[in-house]
Structure 1
Amino acid sequence: MTKSLLLGQTIHFDQSPFDVPVDAAASHNSQGGILLENGMITDVGTAASLRARHPDAVIKDYGDHLIVAGFVDAHVHYPQTGIIASWGKRLIDWLNTYTFPEEMRFADADYAAEISNRYLDLTRSHGVTTMASYGTIHPTSVTAFFEAAQKRGQRVVAGKTCMDRNAPDGLRDTAQRAYDESKALIEQWQGVDRISYAITPRFSPTSTAEQLAALGALWAEHPDCLMQTHLSEQTDEIEWVHSLFPNARDYLDTYEAYGLLGEKGMYGHAIHLEPRERDRLKEVGAGLVHCPTSNTFIGSGLFDLNGLMQAGHTIGLATDTGGGSSFSMLRTMAAAYEIAHLRHTSLHAAQLLWLATAGSAAAMHMGDKIGNLQVGLEADLVVLDLASTPDISQRSARANDIWESLFATIMMGDDRAIHDVWINGRNTPHT
């Protein structure tokens, strides 16, 4: 098998820059390299040392471009690709006006395949190599997404979205159907190639207690699966949850009571958490997923990233397509910076990059597979042009170090900054 040696600037993480100073957490090599073999990273180091160790490798020299781990988007709705950036609604009205009518269309396997491929093409152009996506209630939506990812050799997570109330006719299943169809998809797809399944109740308001209990039982039967849902996104949503579950202690209790709280749970948004919720999420080691462009676009609130990080929570970053207004993880990092600033914290470029790579991988329990430039991890990489536009170029030219230069691309960059993408050790799209 051909060895590919990629040369350029490199950044990898030894620890989280939220836990230790940046200099201790991250390593930058201005003349570095990464060796890829059989879809894996098999060596890292300086360009000179790698050339000497691997004289038979095929060299791809990226010059001053920056090689980092592929971006990991920990919470998306690929079926909402076509309705991204829809105007003027808060969460519940947004679902009824835009989301639910579009999701109806995914009963059509051909349409699901079309949008799956469109979504994976768009996200690849933005350097996203792995994501955790919600499907619709239709098993066809999940099958189409997994098949599209499988053809590309891409590591993805997805699950059939389960809803048996407070949704239109045609978008409701039942407790039994949710269990049976999710189970069948797990048996077909979990662990196949680079595919993982996530049991997926949309959120408590669209599931009865019976459905939540059925999905909790399914998770107990398949503890290797992830579980993804939404939590405390908007204040009026929380009030709705209290009215639907009057005996629950809080929003999180509507999951906890039915076996849907655990270490492999991923809870999107988590903006308006009660003290008990914060404590329980930390106690079980669950993953929280910060969706900053969505939180501002739909008017949800300001996620307490600094406070939750200081308390020891596991936190990933996500676009929340299509509630989020961009497919770009660069834009998402910029929005995370802006929200943190509104909460009187200035995030370092290393922290933003870590959230979009190793942090999201950890929230998805994939830190041993993706999210960093380390020997033994899978070869999903992004090559960034740190001078991709005239405005970024002139700012980057004045940078005192790599972090200043990278920060300019984070704050002003778009798909033009994505010079190249490697997925599973290959840098050509496979649609």
Structure 2
Amino acid sequence: MIQIIDLRDIQPNRVDLADLIPRSKTDFSVATDIARGLIDAVRERGEEALLEQAERLDGVRPAQVRIHAEEIGAAVRDLDPAVRSSLEEAISRVTTASEAQLPLAKVTQLGDGAEVIQRWQPVKRVGLYVPGGKAVYPSSVVMNVVPAQVAGVSSIALASPAQKQFDGSVHPTILAAAGLLGVDEVYAMGGAGAVGAFAYGVPSLGLDPVQVITGPGNIYVAAAKRLVRGVAGIDSEAGPTEILVIADATADARLVAADLVSQAEHDEMAAALLVTDSAEFGDRVRAELEIIAASTHHSARVIEALDGQQSAIVLVADMGAAAAFSNAYGPEHLEIQTEQPGAVLDLIDSAGAIFLGENSPVSLGDYLAGSNHVLPTGGQSHFSSGLGAYTFLRPQQIVKYSRSALQEVEARIVALSSAEDLPAHGDAITARFTR
């Protein structure tokens, strides 16, 4: 069962912690080489390469890569009413939370007639990826599509892997979620090939290149997104999921264990970490993990994830050390279940999403919190954020000066352009005031 890492007697700095953090030793270079080959095949052979990749990697050759609108409509009609109601509630909540992320245009007056206008423009076209390997993720359709729509994106394409049990089509629940959101451009394609298709387009499918690619996936999807960055923008390289729980002796060991298992069931490579200042509490959580992991539906997958080198119970001296460890790790999901969660929160600087208290589990964020569950993994929360409306917006500065406002700064511009040995810059200003 899950390993224990004891850091109570040492005070490592952030650099030292980076070496102590438990992570899987996946060779990203191998995944990158494989992803590059899949992308190159799609660039060279388009639709035929996508069909071959589906047959080889998903075990089925789709009748067509692009899904007909009639099939999407049928999926909506056949959707279980309880699932439909839940998806509609998720759409409503994520819409409300995403609308709060929209920045306002602002005009800055730097003098009489001197204005800089800040505006935010949405990209025109995006490609949204919804994984479809070990589970079905209609919630990821909501998390990808809603913020793009809120941002004002006018063209949305969605991809999800071909499903063998549905004759090579996209899972009907994924199609139904897309239909509920009004998305009718859906493709049965997965993995690195789908990312390549989004980035470079596939003319025979009517698939035009996109400006931004978002969505979670496996290590090959993450590698592919890294490879096409520069051709298209990306959200982050969201790979196998992570949960880190900071808890003290006041927390409920059963609930902490349940939360760790909830994320471990995603994938054998999922990372589940508890960071605590109580060895006795760590032992109680470990005992609960053994019980819950043995009885959960995906028991084998969960046990492998918990046994992996990426998962651990980490013992620290105090909550300050717990926060320091979490900041060095930069978790995708961070739960804080302590006597004073606000005090711990004040010490946190890096996390994809943060869940405070025992009544705010990660599962809430996966579905109905209103927050977005497409989050940076692998420590990327040190420099990236979760998906939001802002992901699809570009800030633009608009400069508007009157003649008098320009003349007021003329001499200073000439002085600076001369200092930089770029006199034509200054000449472009003075030309406006000389005949």
Q: TM-score, normalised by structure 2?
A: 0.26
Whose helix proportion is higher, 1 or 2?
2
Whose strand proportion is higher, 1 or 2?
1
Q: TM-score, normalised by structure 1?
A: 0.26
